[in-house]
Structure formats: structure tokens, C-alpha cells
Amino acid sequence: MRGNCAHINIRCAQGFSKSPYPYRDWELAKECCATALALAPNNAMANHVAGSIYERYDKDIERAKRHYQIAGEQGVYGAFMDLFKLKYSEVNHSYISEYHYGFSPYKVSLIEVPLFASAQTIYSLWQCNKFGNVHRA
């Protein structure tokens, strides 16, 4: 394996973090992700995967948000939605400006924005109910 390749390291991190038990290895996923970020700190995929690892394994929500933000600013819609989900779970957070900011990198029509926003709201509510809104303060 080429240890100096950011792409291979981030793919390994993704694999180790999403594999079923007993093959899932969070520590190895974090190590591969750290290597990928050291090699390519602005890599969108590396930052998205890092955000998910920090959110799910370390429960470091602020660090996860920073990585989701970096990936989202590069046009990774899923990273923006993960960031929005974390912010949505916070008390007293305004979401209207987030929709405008989040959709700005994407080429969507005026009719598609409300559809995406509605879909994300429904998904976020479902996630909060499904997981008991674990991020609420």
C-alpha cells in the first residue's frame, strides 16, 4: 500500500470506519484519516470523512463541524448536510441563512431550493427522532 497517497489513506479510513463489526477499526480509521489530511489538508473527501469520524467516534462535535465546513465549502453537498444536521440539533440556531449559504455552491434553480430544503428538514427531523437527538445541549 502506498502510505504517501492521500486518496488511498482516505479510502482506507472510510472503509475502516464503515465496515461492520468486528472489522470496524476506529483507531485505524483515525490514523489513516490523519495521514490523508497531513498529505492533503484541503481535500474535500478527507475532510468529510474526518468530520464523520470526529462526530461518531470521538463525539467531538466542534471539530466535526470544522471538517464538514471545509468539505462543504468545496461543494460537497453531503458534508454541508452533515454540518447542517449538527447545527440543527443545537438549541436556538437560525437555519434560514444556512439554507442560502449551503446551496450557494450548487447550480440549482429557484424551484429546487425549497425542495432540497424540505427534504433536508424532514431527514433532519427523522434523524433527531431516530437517534434521540444526541447532540442537544
Averaged pLDDT score across all residues of the chain = 78
| Size of the chain in residues | 137
Tell me the pLDDT band of 97, cut-offs 50, 70 and 90: low
Query: How far is 49 from 13, CA to CA, in rounded Å?
Result: 8
Cβ(78)–Cβ(48) below 8 Å: yes
Query: How far is 65 from 90, CA to CA, in rounded Å?
Result: 12
Domain 6-130 classification at class level: mainly alpha
Instruction: Evaluate if residue 83 carries a pLDDT over 60.
Output: yes
What stretch of H or E contains 67?
helix 61-73
Instruction: Evaluate if residue 123 carries a pLDDT over 80.
Output: no
pTM for this model (two decimals): 0.69
Selected residue with higher pLDDT from 130 and 121: 121
| Burial (CB count within 10 angstroms: exposed 0-12, middle 13-18, buried 19+), residue 55 | buried
Computed from CA positions of residues 8, 65, 62, 133, in that sequence, does the dihedral angle turn out positive or negative?
A: negative
For residue 134, count other CB atoms closer than 10 A to its CB.
11
Tell me the pLDDT band of 102, cut-offs 50, 70 and 90: low
Q: Quick one: DSSP state of residue 60?
A: -
Query: How far is 29 from 11, CA to CA, in rounded Å?
Result: 9
Average pLDDT over residues 5-25: 90
**Domain spans, the chain:** 6-130
Q: Quick one: DSSP state of residue 54?
A: I
pLDDT for 76 equals 85
